[in-house]
């Protein structure tokens, strides 16, 4: 029992590689041997984000907490801005805002990780000792699970990690496990005298989270049944399994079970490159997880974020009693652009996650610490937004801003019908069709981020409301990158998600964190989140503008808008 009060240190590390049976490394990402080890000479600053975490240069993708310090371990290429030479970069912070980079924590050095030190997670053992489980690639190119421990627990930054030869690897892929698709051990949880962890895998097209049990953390035995699996979902990367309270925003240690909680299983689906989750029940007797019948299990399921957001992990932060989600946001430009920029990949702003009172989905909100970066504030209240009207938010740094707005919808009479032939599982298709330019009934209304002076470039983030026979109202949130840049050769998708709200109060809120080349948005208080990467050519630095707009036939009231110019945190390298 004492263990339940001990805390899990979550460490989030990601793996993007597979190794095929010919022993050839095969990445989900393309490999670029010609660029892999080029040293970036110039780090281009134009689209570089200011308040989102990124290492000084090069390609990153992943994130931890222990004894008052937040640790972030990430898959990092020290030699170039494309995937390759992957080691565990390590940065530390007291608030997840200001960061200090340390020497790499883990890099290939032993037989059991000779060909790669990929993602993993951390757990805090009962004596308050952190331990990392990670995937190593051995000389036969098999994916094995290893452990690493801090060399000196008195060092508050846990700078040095050791990988004892004794007992490593702790898990070998057994008969029946595909050794080329067996990675990303989760944070372990303690239950009935055993530690448990999930490891991502697949068999044919079935995605699998294998379950392993151990008494001592070093000798692991595969359970007869996986924790969960689902057909036609492909490889499951970075499985994350944790409890959430039925009500309230407080987070829970990973080992908590009981009638007062539900469980969440998140998997990163390698085939679609999005992070999906289900809300469900952990059947303790059977040691299996079963999604609720309100959660779709697969590609049409709920996503943490409907934009660029992958390989995320959560951790329980005991200091603030919250569960924090951190995801990796890749670039939407080309590999050669990344080489020119000298950097690629940022982290989304860490988000507090909790169960929506409707118990069907999670809620997400930027950690409160972000607000310490808020500088100059501009407020606009009670303004009408008629059809076609824009209101510019002046006096803030529109390229680096936190904006939070509440719209009031005076009438829902003009809501446009939802054509039954449209897909209720593919919001992006609907956003592509309807966009911000096609006039609607109620909506499109929302924000125009990173807009150039004459609107040659802009990224609209907006709502559109439909009515249908199935459900009274269908609310769509879009973050449409199609007009974001005059530059060609970029990935400019009209990202979108549905928002599960009843509109009884006739209000919809939207918060966007705009940071040069990223627009990270939270619809309806964090019910639906979308992160877009955009690379304007005109709407840069002081030439970027921010507007609220309405292109629906129904007048909308901009009830309250607050925008804050954002300061740049310290990211010491
Ligand atoms: C461990 O870390 C502490 C605090 O930084 C330091 O004083 C001590 O010398 C370190 N011990 C070793 C063996 O490095
Ligand atoms: C094992 O995984 C690899 C990598 O994804 C895949 O190429 C291979 O087909 C899988 N083997 C089997 C038997 O499913
Ligand atoms: C879903 O599950 C709940 C109980 O968990 C049950 O009451 C309900 O009837 C189920 N709905 C469907 C459509 O199966
Ligand atoms: C609003 O609609 C008009 C007419 O279609 C279009 O020209 C304009 O670009 C739209 N505004 C936005 C923000 O998309
Ligand atoms: C991010 O980049 C875009 C454009 O290249 C790809 O389409 C996405 O699949 C990719 N996302 C991830 C998680 O790798």
Q: What is the tens place of the pLDDT at every residue in 160-219? A: 999 999 999 999 999 899 999 999 999 999 999 999 999 999 999 999 999 999 999 999
b/e sequence 295-321, b meaning 16+ C-beta within 10 Å: bebbbebbbbbbbbbbbbbbbbbbeee
Q: What is the pLDDT of residues 347-403, one digit of tens each?
A: 999 999 999 999 999 999 999 999 999 999 999 999 999 999 999 999 999 999 999
pLDDT at 523 exceeding the cut of 60: yes
Gap from CA of 243 to ligand 3 centroid (Å): 21
Please give the share of the chain, as a percent, with pLDDT higher than 90.
81
Cβ distance 15 to 61 under 8 Å?
no
Instruction: Considering every ligand atom shown, identify the ligand nearest to the alpha carbon of residue 23 and give its number.
Output: 2
> Is 183 in contact with 200 (CB distance < 8 Å)?
yes
Beta bridge partners of 50: none
List the single range of 260-269, 333-342, 433-442 with lowest mean pLDDT: 333-342
Answer yes or no: are the C-beta atoms of 412 and 503 closer than 8 Å.
Answer: yes
| HSE of 545, CA atoms in CB hemisphere, 13 A | 17
For residue 37, pLDDT over 50 is answered with no
pLDDT, residue 25, reads 31
Residue 41, token pair as written in the block: 């000479």
Distance CA 271, CA 237 (A): 10
Q: Which of 152, 159, 162 to mutate to test the pocket of ligand 1 (most atoms within 8 A of CB)?
A: 152
- Across 436-457, b (16+ Cβ under 10 Å) vs e yields beeebbbbbbbbbbbbbeeeeb
Q: What is the pLDDT of residue 63?
A: 59
State whether the Cα torsion 413-416-420-426 is positive or negative: negative
Within 10 angstroms of residue 172's Cβ, the number of other Cβ atoms is: 15
The answer to whether 279 and 243 have CB atoms below 8 angstroms apart is no
pLDDT at 143 over 90: yes
Domains of the chain: 14-366 (2.115.10.20), 375-572 (2.60.120.560)
Neighbours of 212 (CB within 10 A): 22
Tell me whether the omega of the peptide bond preceding residue 253 falls within 30 degrees of 0, making it cis.
Answer: no
A 10 A CB-CB count for 354 gives 20
Distance 156 CA to ligand 1 centre (A): 9
Closest residue by CA, ligand 5 atom 2 = 332
Q: Is the pLDDT of residue 28 over 80?
A: no
What distance in angstroms lies between residue 105's CA and the mean position of ligand 2's atoms?
30
pLDDT band at 287 (very low <50, low <70, confident <90, very high): very high
Closest ligand 5 atom to Cα of 28 = 14
With a 6 A CB cut-off, is 443 part of the ligand 4 pocket? no
Q: What are phi and psi of 428, to 5 degrees?
A: -65, -35
User: CA Rg, the chain, in Å?
Assistant: 23
Q: Give the CA distances from residue 249 to residues 326, 355, 356, 364, 530, in Å, rounded to whole numbers and listed in that order.
A: 17, 7, 9, 10, 21
The closest alpha carbon to 281, from 317, 241, 337, 333, belongs to: 241
pLDDT in tens, 474-516: 999 999 999 999 999 999 999 999 999 999 999 999 999 999 9
Q: What is the DSSP string of 487-552?
A: -SSS---EEEEEE----TT-EEEEEEEEESSEEEEEETTTTEEEEEE---SSS-GGG-EEEEEE-B
Residue 29 has pLDDT above 70, yes or no: no
Asked whether 154 lines ligand 1 (CB < 6 A), one says yes
The whole-angstrom separation of Cα 78 and Cα 105 is: 13
Which tokens is 494 given? 């009209």
Q: Atom 14, ligand 5: which residue's CA is nearest? A: 273
- Residues near ligand 5 (Cβ within 6 A): 273, 308, 310, 330, 332, 491
CA of 534 to the centre of ligand 1 (A): 45
573 ligand 2 Cβ < 6 A: no
| 310 membership: H or E segment, kind and range | strand 310-317
Q: List, for residues 53-62, the tens digit of each pLDDT value.
A: 887 655 555 5
């Amino acid at each position: 029992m004492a263990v339940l009060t001990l805390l899990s240190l979550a460490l989030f590390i990601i793996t993007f590689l597979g190794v095929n049976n010919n022993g050839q490394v095969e990445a989900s990402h393309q490999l670029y041997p010609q660029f892999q080890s080029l040293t970036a000479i110039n780090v281009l600053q134009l689209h570089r984000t200011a308040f989102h975490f990124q290492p000084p240069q090069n390609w990153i993708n992943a994130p931890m907490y222990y004894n008052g310090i937040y640790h972030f371990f990430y898959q990092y290429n020290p030699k170039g801005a494309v995937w390759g030479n992957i080691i565990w970069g390590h940065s530390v912070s007291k608030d997840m805002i200001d960061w200090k980079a340390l020497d790499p924590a883990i890099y290939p050095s032993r037989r059991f990780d000779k060909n790669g030190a990929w993602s993993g997670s951390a757990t805090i053992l009962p004596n308050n000792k952190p331990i990392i489980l990670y995937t190593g690639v051995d000389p036969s190119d098999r994916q094995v699970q290893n452990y690493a421990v801090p060399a000196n627990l008195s060092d508050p930054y846990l700078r040095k990690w050791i990988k004892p030869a004794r007992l490593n690897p702790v898990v070998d892929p057994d008969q029946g496990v595909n050794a080329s698709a067996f990675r990303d051990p989760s944070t372990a949880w303690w239950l009935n005298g055993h530690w448990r962890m999930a490891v991502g895998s697949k068999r044919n097209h079935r995605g699998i989270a294998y379950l392993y049990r151990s008494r001592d953390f070093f000798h692991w035995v595969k359970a007869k049944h996986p924790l969960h699996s689902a057909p036609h979902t492909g490889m499951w990367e970075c499985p994350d399994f944790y409890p959430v309270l039925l009500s309230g925003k407080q987070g829970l240690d990973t080992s908590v079970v009981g009638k007062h909680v539900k469980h969440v299983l998140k998997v990163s689906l390698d085939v679609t490159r999005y992070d999906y989750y289900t809300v469900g029940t952990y059947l303790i007797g059977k040691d299996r997880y079963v999604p609720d019948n309100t959660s779709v299990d697969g590609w049409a399921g709920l996503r943490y974020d409907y934009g660029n957001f992958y390989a995320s992990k959560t951790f329980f932060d005991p200091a603030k009693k919250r569960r924090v989600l951190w995801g990796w946001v890749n670039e939407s430009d080309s590999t050669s652009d990344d080489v020119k920029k000298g950097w690629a990949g940022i982290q989304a702003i860490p988000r507090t996650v909790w169960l929506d009172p409707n118990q069907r989905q999670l809620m997400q909100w930027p950690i409160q610490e972000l607000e310490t970066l808020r500088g100059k504030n501009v407020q606009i209240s009670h303004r009408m937004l008629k059809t076609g009207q824009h209101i510019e938010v002046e006096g803030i740094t529109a390229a680096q801003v936190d904006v939070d707005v509440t719209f009031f919808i005076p009438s829902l009479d003009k809501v446009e019908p939802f054509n039954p032939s449209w897909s209720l599982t593919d919001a992006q298709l609907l956003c592509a069709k309807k966009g911000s330019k096609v006039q609607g009934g109620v909506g499109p209304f929302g924000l125009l981020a990173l807009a150039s002076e004459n609107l040659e470039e802009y990224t609209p983030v907006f709502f559109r409301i439909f009515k249908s026979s199935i459900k009274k109202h269908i609310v769509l949130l879009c973050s449409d990158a199609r007009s974001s840049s005059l530059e060609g050769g970029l990935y400019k998708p009209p990202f979108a998600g549905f928002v599960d709200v009843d509109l009884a109060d006739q209000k919809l809120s939207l918060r966007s964190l705009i940071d040069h080349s990223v627009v990270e948005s939270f619809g309806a208080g964090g019910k639906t989140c979308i992160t877009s990467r955009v690379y304007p050519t005109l709407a840069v630095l002081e030439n970027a503008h921010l507007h609220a707009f309405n292109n629906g036939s129904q007048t909308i009231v901009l009830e309250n808008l607050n925008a804050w110019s954002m300061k740049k945190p310290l990211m010491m390298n």
